[in-house]
């Protein structure tokens, strides 16, 4: 019998990916994935960009490259971070990764030994849980409310847990809840991280997709002791198929991440990095984001309006200021996994919330995605879900 590493006992198939296999049927209205809307991909522009890259630097674009990433793109990323989220990083702080998922995996590889502790929001991003669990830590959920992690609960865990290696957070339009941390909670987090000397992994894939309200400074921008590792991606604001993400970290950490990257895949796609860099040179990236934001705002509004009209009054849901997701809390007697079966029978899908809780069992929640379905299908899908909820109740 083949003898696998013990870490494989912690690794499970992504529930989202398993559900997405079902939703490939065209008749299914899917609120399950975190897929961007393909109609906002800049296909024509990328045709030109690809030709320009191959015509001007084709040999370079198709060759091996440096582990840290394409230098012009790293400078562009640093400039956007400094402008958009208030940081003061340089290209030397940036490591280009194969999607932000690789950056999360690298954080686990850098910090975690078996039995170490990761503190995270409860609920939190399912794929981050999967990435960290490969290194066999204890995942401890910190209670949250509408404004983010509750500082008293976070400090209690920091004080009582003996081997906390880092705190993982998504302050902007959190996956899965869609909530955004208040400025005060951000300040509290960095103050506690500095007090206890614990690194923070700030995951911000959605921050530029704001529909309402003011942009808030990143946790990284408040970092005075080089404790924050900032992770982001072009997948949600541009093209996920290019698989370009990045992390920003202080030099001592950055150097460690580069060593990990060398052992993982040498470097991220040379041609994809150059294509994104050239797109940033030739086109208005902010205008592209504005088109995405306008579309997602309409789809969010359609979903919220339909839920308010058709869902029973005892169903609660968030009203995100941006991003791709909202969070539904059902009456306590409804198990969302069982509700999913009833919804799939009506050709509508969502992700049960159970798997987003790192260390507890909550069975009456679900995550809905509004970015990938047109408004008429969102309306129809919510009607079908409402019928399934009423039938269950």
Domain end call among 225, 254, 282: 282
Region label for 182, one of left (φ > 0), alpha (ψ between -120 and 50) or beta (otherwise)? beta
**Domain total for the chain?**
2
Domain end call among 252, 282, 312: 282
Q: Are residues 161 and 246 in the same domain?
A: yes
Q: Are residues 50 and 30 in the same domain?
A: no
Q: Are residues 173 and 99 in the same domain?
A: yes
Q: Are residues 166 and 218 in the same domain?
A: yes
Domain assignment present for residue 353? The answer is yes
SS (H, E, C) 55-75: HHHHHHHCCCCCCCCCHHHHH
Domain end call among 282, 317, 336: 282
Q: Are residues 53 and 33 in the same domain?
A: no
Residue 210 DSSP symbol: B
Domain assignment present for residue 372? The answer is yes
Q: Are residues 110 and 208 in the same domain?
A: yes
Whole-prediction pTM: 0.95
Strands (E), the chain: 29-30, 94-97, 117-122, 138-145, 148-149, 164-169, 200-203, 228-233, 245-248, 316-317, 325-329, 348-349, 351-352, 365-369
Distance CA 366, CA 152 (A): 27
Q: Are residues 50 and 38 in the same domain?
A: no
Q: Are residues 53 and 135 in the same domain?
A: yes
Domain assignment present for residue 1? The answer is no
Q: Are residues 329 and 231 in the same domain?
A: no
Q: Are residues 350 and 238 in the same domain?
A: no
Q: Which domain holds residue 226?
A: 44-282
pLDDT at 61: 98
pLDDT at 393: 78
CATH assignment at residue 261: 3.40.640.10
pLDDT at 23: 65
Q: Are residues 313 and 370 in the same domain?
A: yes
Region label for 172, one of left (φ > 0), alpha (ψ between -120 and 50) or beta (otherwise)? beta
Instruction: Determine how β-strand 164-169 pairs with β-strand 117-122.
Output: parallel
Q: Are residues 60 and 75 in the same domain?
A: yes
Domain assignment present for residue 26? The answer is yes
- Residue numbers of the chain with a pLDDT score lower than 70: 1-20, 22-23
CATH assignment at residue 35: 3.90.1150.10
**Contact (CB, 8 A) for 203 and 168:** yes
Largest Cα–Cα separation, the chain: 63
**19-56 per-residue burial string, b: 16 or more CB within 10 A, e: under 16:** bbeebeeeebbbbbbbbbbeebbbeeebeebbebbeee
């Amino acid at each position: 019998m083949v003898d696998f590493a013990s870490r494989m006992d912690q690794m499970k198939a992504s529930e989202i990916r398993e559900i997405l296999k079902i939703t490939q049927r065209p008749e299914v209205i899917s609120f399950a994935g975190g897929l961007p809307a393909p109609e906002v991909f800049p296909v024509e522009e990328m045709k030109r960009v690809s030709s320009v890259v191959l015509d001007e630097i084709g040999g370079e674009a198709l060759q091996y490259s440096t582990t840290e990433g394409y230098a012009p793109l790293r400078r562009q990323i640093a400039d956007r971070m400094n402008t958009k989220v208030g940081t003061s990083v340089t290209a030397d702080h940036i490591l280009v990764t194969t999607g932000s998922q690789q950056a999360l995996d690298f954080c686990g590889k850098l910090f975690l030994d078996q039995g170490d502790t990761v503190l995270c929001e409860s609920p939190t991003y399912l794929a981050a849980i999967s990435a960290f669990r490969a290194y066999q830590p204890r995942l401890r959920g910190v209670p949250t409310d509408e404004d983010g992690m509750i500082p008293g609960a976070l400090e209690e865990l920091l004080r009582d847990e003996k081997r906390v290696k880092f705190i993982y957070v998504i302050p902007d339009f959190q996956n899965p809840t869609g909530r955004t941390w208040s400025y005060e909670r951000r300040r509290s987090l960095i103050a506690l991280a500095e007090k206890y000397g614990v690194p923070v992994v700030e995951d911000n894939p959605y921050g530029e997709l704001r529909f309402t309200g003011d942009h808030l400074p990143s946790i990284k921008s408040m970092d005075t002791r080089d404790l924050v590792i900032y992770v982001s991606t072009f997948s949600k604001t541009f093209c996920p198929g290019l698989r370009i993400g990045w992390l920003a970290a202080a030099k001592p950490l950055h150097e460690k991440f580069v060593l990990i990257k060398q052992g993982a895949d040498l470097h991220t796609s040379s041609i994809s990095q150059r294509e994104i860099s050239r797109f940033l040179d030739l086109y208005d990236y902010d205008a592209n984001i504005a088109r995405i934001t306008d579309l997602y705002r309409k789809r969010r509004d359609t979903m919220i309006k339909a839920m308010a009209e058709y869902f029973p009054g005892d169903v609660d849901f968030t009203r995100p200021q941006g991003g791709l997701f909202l969070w539904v809390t059902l009456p306590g007697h409804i198990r969302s996994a069982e509700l999913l079966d009833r919804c799939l029978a009506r050709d509508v899908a969502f992700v049960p919330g159970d798997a987003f809780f790192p260390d507890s069992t909550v069975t009456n929640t679900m995550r809905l995605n509004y970015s990938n379905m047109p408004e008429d299908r969102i309306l129809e899908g919510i009607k079908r879900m409402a019928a399934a909820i009423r039938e269950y109740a």
